[in-house]
Structure 1
């Protein structure tokens, strides 16, 4: 039996793919050229959740690992938290918010139908 064939995983899969509205290529490009807007010390290199999103975008649901599911939950939560109560243009005009969203694969200016 496939442990990922559950209603909870189906819902998470759907929510993740709605939250991550950038293609893996777009996300890889973004992670490679992201501006340094975070004044606090942190690891150099691409955002770990962004790289996890790239990996997940290249998988089938049946191939997800427990780590993938955890990353998907975090990404969905970040996108929900960062976009709650704001319009797309407000999120896009807030450089920190836009950077955080883009770093997990969510372009706040992208039309949901794109």
Structure 2
């Protein structure tokens, strides 16, 4: 079982990685652009799109109500955002309409913020 210090670190890292509000994420997830990006293991909803829905649920919870599964997903989100920011296109003109940005937004991070 994770200790209190680990949960605090994950909470802070998640808050830094997810820079979109629940309402911004929900609005984004309704767009065609959101649905077109990401890995779709069964041909349906992408992993990132499903993650975005889960992020909204987590962000709407009180910290005291978060479960171990919530913290596990928060760690996954932090890892994804960090990796993709490091790998992403670094030419500013490519970012606004890129699949890279759209994928990150499915995970709750808008690199233009």
TM over 0.5: same fold?
Answer: yes
Report the TM range for the smaller structure's normalisation. 0.7 to 0.9
Partner of 1:104: 107
Superimposed CA distance per residue, residues 27-68 of structure 1 (whole angstroms, 9 cap, x where no aligned partner): 000001141245966323781110111011111211111221
Structure 2 partner of 1:77 = 79
Q: What secondary structure is seen at the aligned counterpart in 1 of 2:95?
A: helix
- Whether the aligned pair in 2 keeps the contact of 1:79 and 1:101 (CA below 8 Å) is yes
Q: TM-score, normalised by structure 1?
A: 0.79
8 A contact 2:55–2:108 mirrored in 1: yes
Q: What residue is the counterpart of 2:55 in the other structure? A: 53
Instruction: Give the drift of 1:9.
Output: 0.3
Unaligned runs of 5+ in 1: none
Q: Which runs of 5+ in 2 are unaligned?
A: none
2:14 aligned residue: 16
Aligned alpha-carbon RMSD (Å):
2.8
Moved over 2 A (4+): 37-42, 85-94
Cα offset, 1:88, TM superposition: 8.5
